[in-house]
Amino acid sequence: MSLIQHLINGQLVNDTGRTADVYNPSTGQVIHQVPLASRDTIQSAIDSAKAAFPAWRITPPAKRAQVMFRFKQLLEQNEARISQLISEEHGKTLEDAAGELKRGIENVEYACSAPEILKGEYSRNVGPNIDAWSDFQPLGVVAGITPFNFPAMVPLWMYPLAIVCGNCFILKPSERDPSSTLLIAQLLQEAGLPKGVLSVVHGDKGAVDALIEAPEVKALSFVGSTPIAEYIYSEATKRGKRVQALGGAKNHAVLMPDADLDNAVSALMGAAYGSCGERCMAISVAVCVGDQVADALIAKLVPQVKALKIGAGTSCGLDMGPLVTGQARDKVSGYIEDGVASGAELVVDGRGLSIAGHEDGFFLGGSLFDRVTPEMRIYKEEIFGPVLCVVRVNSLEAAMQLINDHEYGNGTCIFTRDGEAARLFCDEIEVGMVGVNVPLPVPVAYHSFGGWKRSLFGDLHAYGPDGVRFYTRRKAITQRWPQRASHEASQFAFPSL
């Protein structure tokens, strides 16, 4: 059994303390161990980043971008290898893993535009012989804490942009599936990134707390559950750090009576059950406007949910693999039991699934609930599994009120042919990312990703233009060169034109 290592100052290093097991979810077997970083290990990563920062911050943005161009090429060349690692440790299908990587590469492409996105603003003659301009300057040492469900994509949301902005980055990936994350970081070093600019340290809460408490770390990015997001935001901001902490979600899809139901069903199947529902943008609630829409939706969903192709993620042609751990599978099963006890109608039960040859894997079939109501736990909480809940309402206004009343506001969508309804929905819904006939409205890399309400703690969203703002500080400079022959009297009033 191999030990996955930290990457610090360009070197793979061990930690002699605690370790955690890394499983293959398809077999249920431990395949690796990962060290859980001590505070000394975290500090060594911080020290290497701090040492690398002075030279990196003055490296021209065009040279930083050249590293990212080479990095992009290496990622594309190693797509199959990276996807295999993701599937082996996370459980998602190879096709899903490849799709995740491609969306991550989009952010590397955006980072390649560093000379453009870091251009300041210049104004000549704002006053007599006075020029003014603004400059985007890096923060210094920054850190990211990323989740298990996207071990390639979410880290690529963070450090490519942070690094081209001139910062040095410490990444603490999920200890559940760290191999692909580590390989990708090594590829960035192969692309020519100087030692110390990026470090990868594995760990649990102890590592997170060490990053929060370290005065050298100026900013923290996080993606994960809302309780942890709130904890990181609270603890880090009171220490004066800049924080963007993306939390949980309960994403609703509204189906109007005029919706193209066949296309909506196809979209819902992928959005609800893709990656076993282990996505912060997964659709977990279908809000049907009218019983006729709900009855028709259920009739079309049931056979497709029952026909989901499920197996080992590294096999081809599957719809779903296993959940990431046995605990995750059992937690989702507990939600299904709770839904039944609360009076929801379990139309399709995915529990008890056994895959031939993989009987010890962490498998769960797709589940479908009808007649779910807002007071039920399966409606209120993020299940993070292959469970879709159908809620029935009488109007678009009632559907929107349902969504706006929920504590989360990450993503939502509406299926309709009515432009007026779509416009009203987009204008009035209190959610950060909205789709019209698009079930997973994840913004492209040159926009920014983030929810509202308790789905985001902090003022700036992830990647895109907000990412540039998050990883830089704006400095405004006003400059004057008075004429040598002139002599001016002192001014005691506040200066103005």
Mean pLDDT (the chain, rounded): 96
Categorize the per-residue pLDDT at 486 as very low, low, confident or very high, splitting at 50, 70 and 90.
low
- pLDDT for the residue numbered 245: 98
Report which DSSP code applies to 274.
Answer: G
pLDDT at 497: 63
Over residues 64-100, the pLDDT tens digits come to 999 999 999 999 999 999 999 999 999 999 999 999 9
Catalytic (active-site) positions: 280
Distance in angstroms (rounded) separating the CA atoms of residues 308 and 139:
47
298-348 pLDDT per residue, tens: 999 999 999 999 999 888 889 999 999 999 999 999 999 999 999 999 999
Q: Average the pLDDT over 105-128 and give the result.
A: 94
Residue found by looking up tokens 């102890």 in the block: 206
Check whether 389 has a pLDDT greater than 70.
yes
By percentage, how much of the chain surpasses pLDDT 70? 99
Contacts of residue 438, defined as CB under 8 A and 6 or more positions apart, other chains included, come to 267, 413
- Encode pLDDT of 150-188 as tens digits: 999 999 999 999 999 999 999 999 999 999 999 999 999
The stretch 126-131 carries a mean pLDDT of: 88
pLDDT of 144 strictly over 90: yes
Evaluate whether 108 touches 65 at the Cβ level (below 8 Å).
Answer: no
Q: Which domains does the chain have, with CATH numbers?
A: 2-247+455-477 (3.40.605.10), 251-436 (3.40.309.10)
pLDDT of res. 17: 85
Tell me, yes or no, if the pTM score tops 0.85.
Answer: yes
Q: Which residue has the tokens 């939502």?
A: 412
Residues 6+ apart with CB under 8 A from 152: 82, 86, 97, 100, 101, 104, 180, 181, 184
